Amino acid sequence: MARQERAIRTRAQILTAAASVFGERGYEAATVSEILARAGVTKGALYFHFPSKRALAEGVLAEQLNDIDTPAREYRTQEVIDTGLALAYRVRRDPVISARAWLSLGQEMQRLFGGGVIPAWLAETRRLLEQAKEEGELLPHITPAETAWVVSACWTGVQVYSATLSNGDDLEEKVSLLFAHLLPFIAVPDVLGKLDYRAERAGEVVAEMDRRYAELAAREAAGDTGAVQRLRGRGDAGEPGGSLAAGA
């Protein structure tokens, strides 16, 4: 057990180092030896977990997308907003999430890695907007697939601009501004008036998610293996709200 924990820690250390090197240099220019030096682990340990540079990049890209697993809300549109805000909060604080975002931007990423995290995030946004449409939240001219594409693409552009022009310091604020521009075209007035896309909500949503994960971990440690199912995913339709009400 102690050995397994050590292996998990080593793997996390390597991924964090890989993320920071990929983030700084890009995939092509990054080298395994720089990742090795930064990780502070033995060469054997690194190659045990990740046999190649490609495997390291895949490891960074494949880390479970906890960052898009936002709590269920009264409105699906609010879940789209919370996803965008929470990711903005995390991308500039977590080096692995940040590197994953940057790695997904490379011109060769589609060929090398199937587009990084872009397809997964697009699919999640689309799923939420399709539900929103069914539930009457969207204006009649909206096609969920098209609008999901625009919302995800714009988020990515906002991240690039914030990083390039402001070192990422205004990312939550700019994602909030993005939603202010897009939502009036998307949501019916009734719903629009209840949506909360303030920049400050970003940190609030992440704190809520962190509490939920802590709760999950505690329940699992206590042997309640069903906790994952009940706390995560959207199966919990009977338990709609997190603690943050939309429009609060």
φ/ψ of residue 122, rounded to 5: -60, -45
User: How far from the centroid of its chain's Cα atoms is residue 207's Cα?
Assistant: 14
Nearer Cβ to a second copy, position 119 or 235?
119
Q: Nearest distance from residue 204's CB to a second copy, in Å?
A: 23
Contact at 8 Å (CB) between 242 and 71? yes
Residue from 4, 164, 189, 222 in contact with a second copy (CB under 8 A) = 164
The stretch among 2-10, 79-87, 176-184, 202-210 that binds a second copy (CB under 8 A) is 176-184
Least distance in Å: CB of 28 to a second copy? 3
Residues 129-158 that bind a second copy (CB under 8 A): 146-147, 149-150, 152-158
Q: Does residue number 12 form part of the binding site for a second copy (CB under 8 A)?
A: no
Residue 167 C-beta: closest distance to a second copy, Å: 7
Q: Alpha-carbon distance 109 to 115, whole Å?
A: 5
Helix (H, G, I), strand (E, B) or coil at 138: strand
SS3 55: helix
* Type of residue found at 200: E
Nearer to a second copy, 177 or 188 (CB): 177
142: left (phi over 0), alpha (psi -120 to 50) or beta: beta
- Residue 52 in contact with a second copy, rule: CB under 8 A: no
SS3 of 157, please? helix
Q: Output the six-digit token pair for 126.
A: 């689309």
> Which of residues 118, 187, 205, 246 is near a second copy by CB under 8 A?
118
Which residues ranging from 181 to 210 are in contact with a second copy (CB under 8 A)?
181-182, 184-186
Tell me which of 7, 29, 123, 218 binds a second copy, using CB under 8 A.
Answer: 29
- Complex with a second copy: residue 15 or 91, whichever CB lies closer: 91
Phi, psi of 208 (to 5 degrees): -65, -45
User: Which one, 89 or 102, has the nearer CB to a second copy?
Assistant: 102
C-alpha distance from residue 200 to each of 53, 171, 191, 237 (Å): 38, 11, 20, 26
Asked if residue 229 binds a second copy (CB under 8 A), the reply is: no
Toward a second copy, which CB reaches closer, 187 or 244?
Answer: 187
**Residues 55-114 contacting a second copy, CB under 8 A:** 102, 104-110
Residue with tokens 């019916």: 188
Number of residues that make up the chain: 248
Take residue 144 and report the two structure tokens written for it.
């969920």
* Closest of 67, 198, 202, 73 to residue 132, by C-alpha: 73
Contact residues: a second copy, CB under 8 A? 23-29, 102, 104-110, 115-116, 118-119, 122, 146-147, 149-150, 152-165, 167, 174, 177-178, 180-182, 184-186
